[in-house]
Structure 1
C-alpha cells in the first residue's frame, strides 16, 4: 500500500465511530481534492532535447453520486466543473489550460465495522481539454483523453445519514502537445488525487 493511501486510512480510523443507516441505494458527497500531476513528458524537440512540459498542482471542488446495486457493489460518478492549470516549459510559465475530467468507477464496499467502511474502485476517466492558451496560442493540448482510474477510500459514519470521507484516486490522463499544429511532445499528467469530504446517504 502506498504512503498516501496508508496515511488516509490512519486519518479515517481516528474518525471512526457510530453506525451506518439502514442500507439505502444513493450516496452523494462533496469533496476537496488535491491534484498532483505525475508530469512525465517527452522532451519538446525530440530525443536529446531538455525542455519538458509540466502542469501545476491544483486543489479543486468535487461532487460525486454513488448508487448501490447491493450492500457491497456500487457505481460512482465523479464530477466537477472545468479546472484551470498553469503550464510550464522547462520551469518557465507558458500559459494555461482548462480540462473537465469526469470519472466513472465500479466499487466494492466492505461491510461496516464500528462505523468505518473502506472501499476500492476501478473505472474510466474521460478528460476533455479546452481554452488552451500556451505560447500565445501557438501551442495546445489534444482535445480528449480516455484512461483508467483506480481508487481507495473510506466512509466514516457521523450519524445515521452523514459520513466523513477520505479518498485517493490515480487517473490516467495523457495528451499530445501540438505546436503550430504539429506534435511536439506527449505529456502524461496521470494525477494522484487526494480528497476529503462529507457524504449523505438516502
Structure 2
C-alpha cells in the first residue's frame, strides 16, 4: 500500500500534463477555429450605389431682345437614374462624400404667350452634377447611423438640343446652350448597417442651382434667361464599408 501511493501520484501528474499539452495543441492548431470573432477597425473608404430621384423646381424666366416676357416661367422634367458615391472617413464622425451620376431634363416654357410663340418646349439637356460634401456622422445609435452634410456642386450641361418644330406655330428653338454652374448643396441621410460592411442607405440632398441659358428662336431671335432648377435629389440604395 505504501508503494502504490507514489505511483498513483505520478500517474495523476502525467494525466494532467497530457491534458494540458492536448489543450495547447488544440489552441495552436492551424485548422481549428478561433474561440471568438475578431472585429477589425473599419476602413476609411465607403461606397454607395443608389437609385436617385431628381426633382427640379419649376421656376425661371424667358427673355427676348426686347426684355423679359411678363409672366414667363419654366418647367423641368423629373427623372430617376443610378448614382454612385464615394466617402472617406477622417474620423468616426467626420467624412467627405463625392457624388457621381448623370441625368437629363426636358425644359419647357410656361404661360400662354410662350406656348403660343412656340416656346412651350425649349429643349432637352443632359446634366453631370458632381457634388462634394463634408459630413458629420452620429455614432451613438448602434446600427442606425444618421448624418448631415453641406458642400458644393458643379453642374456640367451637355448634349443640349432645341425642341425642333412646334406643332402650334411652326417655330423652333435652335442652338440651345446652358452655362455650366457652381451651386451649394445640403444633405441629410442615414445608413442602417446589417454588419461591419453592408448596410441600407437613404439620402436627401438639396442643390441650389440656377444656370443661365441662351438659344435662337427660328435661327434669328435670341432667347435667354435663367433656369431656377434647385433640384431635390432623393436616393435609396446599398452601402458597403471596406
**Fold in common (TM above 0.5):** yes
Which structure has more RCO (C-alpha within 8 Å, separation ≥ 6)? 1
Residue deviations 1:97-141 (CA, integer Å, cap 9, x gap): 111000011100011413000000111101011111124352524
TM-score by length of structure 2 reads 0.69
Residue deviations 1:139-183 (CA, integer Å, cap 9, x gap): 524231101100100000112210100100001122112023956
**Post-superposition shift, 1:22?**
3.7
- Structure 1: any 5+ residue segments left out of the alignment? 1-19
> 1:1-202 to 2 correspondence within 5 Å?
22-45=41-64, 46-47=67-68, 49-80=70-101, 82-90=102-110, 92-136=120-164, 138-180=174-216, 182=222, 184-202=224-242
Q: Which has the higher helix share?
A: 2
Distance 1:201 1:50, change over 3 A: same
**Post-superposition shift, 1:52?**
2.4
**Post-superposition shift, 1:48?**
5.3
Q: Distance in 1 between matches of 2:231 and 2:175?
A: 22
Distance 1:68 1:28, change over 3 A: same
Match of 1:138, SS?
Answer: strand
Q: Distance in 2 between matches of 1:21 and 1:35?
A: 37
**Contact persistence 1:173–1:189 (CA under 8 A):** yes
What is the number of residues matched between the two proteins? 182
**Post-superposition shift, 1:47?**
4.5
Residue deviations 1:33-66 (CA, integer Å, cap 9, x gap): 1111112202444455233232111111100000
Q: Distance in 2 between matches of 1:112 and 1:26?
A: 20
**Contact persistence 1:64–1:79 (CA under 8 A):** yes
Q: Distance in 1 between matches of 2:236 and 2:56?
A: 18
Q: Which has the higher strand share?
A: 1
RMSD in angstroms over aligned alpha carbons? 2.1
TM-score by length of structure 1 reads 0.82
- The structure having more radius of gyration, on CA atoms, is 2
**Contact persistence 2:76–2:106 (CA under 8 A):** yes
